Structure 1
Amino acid sequence: MLEVRSLSKHFGGIQAVDKCSFVAERGKITALIGPNGAGKTTAFNCISRTMAPSAGEIRLDGRRIDTLRPYQVTAAGLSRTFQISRNLADMTVLENVICQSKIHGWRDLFRPAMSAEEIDKAFGILEFLGITRIANEDGSNLSYGQKKLMDLAALLMSDPKIILLDEPAGGVNPTLLEEIIGHIRKLNEQGLTVLIVEHNMDLIMRLSHRVVVMAHGRVIADGTPDEVRENPDVLDAYLGGALEEAA
């Protein structure tokens, strides 16, 4: 579904992503992992067009999206979350979710701010995630974990074909982590394609069908969780040669 071809991004003389290529297969969960500074989030930013790539191509269902604006990428069927929640603190959870509804053109100017159809759809998503009780809470009153769930709800409101999750487990307690894993698995079982950046290796190995590993801006491994787990290049990237020195 998603093809990244020779993606590069530099900031002056710093090459954050260097000719990075990988795919996210339709209906699968693909993980993008790597040590800090590997270029994972920069790649995410380029794919979602919150950042312009320096070179390369990104295709969604065969269509190039690397020249589109962020809202056009969302309209094409790709939505993402961020490491730090970007909710609108002065709006309720329900309003934050409905903000992500698909735009249907100038006719929307004559519709209510929140139509009955949108409210029903939003409540259905909140119910799926088990957070209807906080529908009328202001975004500023939420816990860190609740904000993560609200971000996921807002993501689903746009009817995406593929979702990009940037560290969905970061900073959440073990109980909520299990809930998030369950939600991602159910969404995938319903046919949603998932690309995920995460440092929690337990989550990655339990959820992913395929794992892409980055280091120094480049892809150094691509395979099943078991294949990646045993790859010496991956071990070296994470441990910096410590295993060889110990041996």
Structure 2
Amino acid sequence: MLEVKNLCKHFGGIKAVDGATFTVEKGAITALIGPNGAGKTTAFNCISRTAAPTSGEVWLDGERIDHLRPHKITAKGLSRTFQISRNLGDMTVIENVIVQSRVDGLRGLFRPAMSQEEKDKAMSILDFLGITRIAHEDGHNLSYGQKKLMDLAALLMSDPKIILLDEPAGGVNPSLMEEIVGHIRALNDKGLTVLIVEHNMDLIMRLSHKVVVMAHGKVICAGTPDVVRKDPHVLDAYLGGVLEDEAA
């Protein structure tokens, strides 16, 4: 479904992403992992076009999208979350979710700010995530974990066929982390394709069908969790470093 070819993003002399190439198969949960500074989030930014790639190509369902604006990419069926919630604090949860609805162009100027259809759809998504109780709570009153769930709800309003999740369980308590994992599995069971960046290796190895490993802006390994776990390049660049830190 998603194909990244020789993707590069340079900031002056710094090569944050340096010729990364990988694929995300339709209906799979694919993880993008690597140490801090590996280029994972920058790759996400280039794929979703929140940052313009220096070079390379991004293809979605056989169509090249790296030249499109972010809202056009969303309309093609690719949506993403961010590490830090970008909610609008003075708006309620349901308003924050509906903001992510598909845009109808000029026709949208002649309809209510929130249609009943959008309200019903948003409440259905909040119900799926178990957070209807906070539907009318202001965004600035939410806990960190609630913001993570709201971001996931907003993501689903655009009817995506592939979602990019940037550390969806980062910073949340273990109970909520398992809840989020359950939601991701349930969405995948319904046919949604998932690409996820996450530092929790236990979560990644349990959740993913495929793992892509980046280091220094390059892809150094890609395969099943079992294959990646045993790869010597991965152990040296990422997993080994983590184990050494824990031992120290």
* Corresponding residue for residue 88 of structure 1: 88
1:105 aligns with 2:101: no
Mapping 1:180-191, distance limit 5 Å: 180-191=180-191
Residues 146-165 of structure 1: pairs in structure 2 closer than 5 A: 146-165=146-165
Residue of structure 2 in register with 1:224 after alignment: 224
Structure 1 residue ranges, 4+ long, deviating more than 2 angstroms after superposition: 239-243
Gaps in structure 1 of 5+ consecutive residues: none
Q: Please tell me the residue identity of whatever aligns with 1:121.
A: K
1:241/1:144 Cα in 2 relative to 1: closer, same or farther (>3 Å)? closer
Q: TM-score, normalised by structure 2?
A: 0.96
C-alpha separation in 2, matches of 1:53 and 1:22:
15
Q: C-alpha distance in 2, partners of 1:225/1:174?
A: 21
- Residues 49-88 of structure 1: per-residue CA shift (max 9 Å, x gap): 0000000000000111100001111011000000000000
Deviation, 1:167, is: 0.2
Unaligned 5+ residue runs, structure 2?
Answer: none
Report the CA distance between 1:104 and its aligned residue. Answer: 1.6
SS of 1:152's equivalent in the other structure is helix
- 1:236–1:242: 8 Å Cα contact kept in structure 2? no
1:240 Cα offset (Å): 5.0
Shift, 1:107, TM fit: 1.1
Q: Report Cα offsets for 1:9-66 as digits up to 9, x if no partner.
A: 1000000101100001000000000001100000000000000000000000011110
Cα drift, residue 105 of structure 1 = 2.1
Question: Amino acid of the residue matched to residue 104 of structure 2?
Answer: H
State the TM-score, normalizing by the size of structure 1. 0.97
Q: 1:241 to 1:45 in 2, by over 3 A?
A: closer
Q: Percent identity?
A: 77
* Corresponding letter in the other structure for 1:102: R
Partner of 2:180: helix, strand, or coil? helix
Following TM superposition, by how much is the alpha carbon of 1:218 offset from its aligned partner in structure 2, in angstroms? 0.3
Q: State the SS of the aligned residue for 1:59.
A: strand
